[in-house]
Structure 1
Amino acid sequence: MRKTVVKKKGPPSKKPSSKGKAATLRGSGPPRKKKGGPLRSKKPGRNQIAQARKQPAPVTAGKRKALRPNAPAEASAPAAAPSAAAPAPAERPDAARPRALEIAQAGLDKKAEDVLVLDVRGLTSYADYFVLMTADSDRQAGAIADGVDERLKAQGATKVGVEGYESGRWILVDYGDVVAHVFSREARGFYDLEGLWADAPRFQVQS
């Protein structure tokens, strides 16, 4: 006896449509070539890389500033040859200093106190020396001024002018390059010529 095989019927299989086949074929097939020639790779070849390395890098604005040539330096004047040191000028004879000392000594002869000589050369244009003296009274101040005048007149010096002789508080006897100042104690402290001419070199004269 022949055995009959009964096939079980499954769910009906759906046949792919022609449209599905076309879509499948399109997706699985090789990519189409665009018009204009074969596809080219975007990566540069070795030759292109070598040529790029040989070319100089582009110059930016900042580099342009640095690459600008510097302005030509001004031609400096040739250095002068060292000249021999000029001889120091001979010192001028200081005729005013002996006169100042004579005035100071004349004041000491008349009992003047605190006799001080100020060297005002270079500090004022109307005198070289000031001689400051102190008298105990107006009468003594007049006697000191007279003694100075007599001594200088004996040496041939002539006074330019006299001021304050009447009061005796501050008698000024002007000899041009040397000026004698005879003060009372109060007037000398009040006018303070030593402080006003603090930059002047000075020396005390004693008998």
Structure 2
Amino acid sequence: MADQFSTALDIASIARNAIELASDKQAQNIVLLDVKDISSFTDYMIMLSGSSTRQVQSLGNDIAEKIKKDGLHLHHQEGSSNSGWVLLDFGDIVVNVFSEEQRNFYKLEEVWRTGRELVRIQ
């Protein structure tokens, strides 16, 4: 699924850079999953939580800018901090920034449980 100008290793590095930034910005319960063997639309899934509406928005904005700087194009964005879930679709990487309440409600980690967990930062 890698873009024509990126290698799989580059995409993994971009995903790891994004979760490092999220950790630096005090995101909670950060998970990076390799889903390329079970997903037809992405290679890596990132899930993380913010403790407030403002933090969810800030994390979404900062991660989007970081991934863009690292060379991927934002194909689509869904949701808002007010809804408690911001989804950033970069094709090869999908980022889900949740409020804790929405994360517990949607339980996406259960949906993607057969993906390979690469990183978990509590």
- TM-score tier (shorter): 0.7 to 0.9
Residue in 2 that maps onto 1:122: 37
* Counterpart residue identity of residue 177, structure 1: D
Question: 1:103 is matched with which residue: 18, 39, 47?
Answer: 18
Identity of aligned residues (%): 29
Kindly indicate whether residue 115 of structure 2 is the aligned counterpart of residue 197 of structure 1. no
Higher strand share: 2
Is 1:153 aligned to 2:107, yes or no? no
Structure of greater Rg: 1
Please point out which of 113, 132, 138 is paired with 2:28. 113
The separation in 2 between residues aligned to 1:153 and 1:197, in whole angstroms, is: 25
- Please state whether the residue corresponding to 1:114 is helix, strand or coil: strand
Indicate the structure with greater helix content. Answer: 2
Q: Distance in 2 between matches of 1:156 and 1:199?
A: 28
The one-letter code sitting in structure 2 at the alignment partner of 1:162 is Q
Q: How many residues align?
A: 116
TM-score, structure 2 as length reference: 0.85
Moved more, 151-160 or 167-176: 151-160
Report if aligned partners of 1:131, 1:178 keep a CA contact under 8 Å in 2.
Answer: yes
The one of the two structures with greater contact order (alpha-carbon pairs below 8 A, sep at least 6) is: 2
Query: In 2, Cα distance between the equivalents of 1:93 and 1:141?
Result: 28
Residue number in structure 2 paired with 1:183: 98
SS at match of 1:95: helix
Q: Partner amino acid for 1:204?
A: V
**What are the Cα deviations for residues 87-114 of structure 1, in whole angstroms up to 9, with x where unaligned?**
xxxxx74332112112111211221011
Contact residue 51 and residue 100 of structure 2 kept, 8 A:
yes
Match of 2:4 in 1: none
Q: Show structure 1 runs of 5+ residues with no match.
A: 1-91
Q: Which runs of 5+ in 2 are unaligned?
A: 1-6
AA aligned to 2:112 is: W
